[in-house]
Amino acid sequence: MDRLDAMRVFTRIVERRSFTRAAEDLSLPRSTATDAVKRLEARLGVQLLQRTTRSVRPTLDGEAYYQRCLSILSEIEEAEEAFAGAKPRGLLRVEADGPLTRHFILPKLAGFLDSYPDLDLQLSEGNGHGDLTRKGVDCVLRLGECWGECRGACRGEARDALAAGDAGDDMAGDINGAMVVRRVASLDKVTLAAPSYLARFGRPDSHDALTGHQMVGFWSAARGGLLPLEFSEQGEAREMVLPSRFAVSASESYLASARLGHGLIQILRYQAEEDIRAGRLIEVLAATPPRPTPISLLYPRNRQLSPRVRVFLDWLATLFPRRS
């Protein structure tokens, strides 16, 4: 194993906090990963990793060496990809929202893979929270407010623009100095109710006429409570929490509850298209819709924007409809 390969092994061990997981990611025997680190430590004359029975952590020297390795490996990858005709290659690990993956990504994935025959894609479902490098993923496609549980830490102009919905597709934010956020698209949301519900409670003609109405509660673990209904009017958003007899935490149950007439819901339009066309759900208060929901790609700041992530980001931007 040459020095560059040893650096790749070392950085993966630091990120995964495990020799075993790093070796699995790189399709290497664990013994090979162990030997690579031992040779690095012998060559440098310092201890790079602290090993315990539960985890592996870099020493102070190891952390400094890790940052230098990231910079060196990134520059080498950029230099190789700069040559004419060179295309991204290797394994790209992506964590993405499940419904987004099934509705937008999978139907057109074959074309992306045909365009990059040397690139392999590993898709896992998740909510995009937590330390991406510890999870072993290169980037996350997140639905909703892109900083999730780190909302308060998203800095400066990026945070303000994202919160206001004014960020363009190339807008980047910095979460806690560790994550970079790039807006991919925004998806429209709608307010819906079943015909049986409207027959019972009446069809509201404005959000001020919702007294006496009820909603299906949607429980948000990140928010620690029910998500309010939201209505936009003259560029300002107004939140309302209506009475609800019960709450759910999955979009499928949310839709099913609305079909049964249990209350108003607000959901992404694409998720309810079939119900709207079939007349099972009816859009109400269309003049004051909720704000569009952002879709963002997150990747570790210290890895910059690798060629693999870059082509994936460019391709993602072609999948989602522009706001109507």
- The reply to whether 241 falls in a domain is yes
- For residues 163 and 116, membership in a common domain is answered with yes
Whole-number Å distance between alpha carbons of 242 and 212? 9
- For residues 109 and 32, membership in a common domain is answered with no
Whole-number Å distance between alpha carbons of 182 and 170? 6
- For residues 30 and 175, membership in a common domain is answered with no
Report the domain count for the chain.
3
Q: Domain of 218: which CATH number?
A: 3.40.190.10
- The reply to whether 293 falls in a domain is no
Q: Which two tokens stand for residue 264?
A: 């108003």
- The reply to whether 289 falls in a domain is no
- For residues 17 and 73, membership in a common domain is answered with yes
CB of 203 within 8 A of CB of 284? yes
Cα separations (Å) of 140 from 95, 106, 300?
5, 16, 10
Q: Which two tokens stand for residue 270?
A: 């694409």
Q: Domain of 30: which CATH number?
A: 1.10.10.10
- For residues 199 and 275, membership in a common domain is answered with yes
pLDDT for res 9: 93
- The reply to whether 296 falls in a domain is no
Residue with tokens 């040893």: 6
- The reply to whether 119 falls in a domain is yes
Tell which of 63, 81, 99 closes a domain.
81
- For residues 109 and 167, membership in a common domain is answered with yes
Which of 165, 170, 171, 172 is CA-nearest to residue 186? Answer: 165
pLDDT for res 268: 95
Q: What is the mean pLDDT of each run of 10 residues along the chain (324 residues)?
A: 90 90 90 94 93 86 89 78 70 89 94 92 74 71 62 34 35 53 91 97 92 94 88 88 93 95 96 96 95 88 73 89 57
pLDDT for res 155: 36
- For residues 273 and 198, membership in a common domain is answered with yes
- For residues 232 and 213, membership in a common domain is answered with yes
Range of the structural domain that residue 104 is part of: 90-179+303-316
- For residues 54 and 199, membership in a common domain is answered with no
- For residues 311 and 224, membership in a common domain is answered with no
Q: Which two tokens stand for residue 225?
A: 């409570």
Tell which of 55, 81, 107 closes a domain.
81
Find all residues with CB under 8 Å of 214, minimum gap 6, and list them.
Answer: 201, 242, 243, 244, 245, 262, 263, 264
- For residues 220 and 277, membership in a common domain is answered with yes
pLDDT for res 25: 86
- The reply to whether 294 falls in a domain is no
Residue with tokens 């790093």: 22
- The reply to whether 310 falls in a domain is yes
- The reply to whether 216 falls in a domain is yes
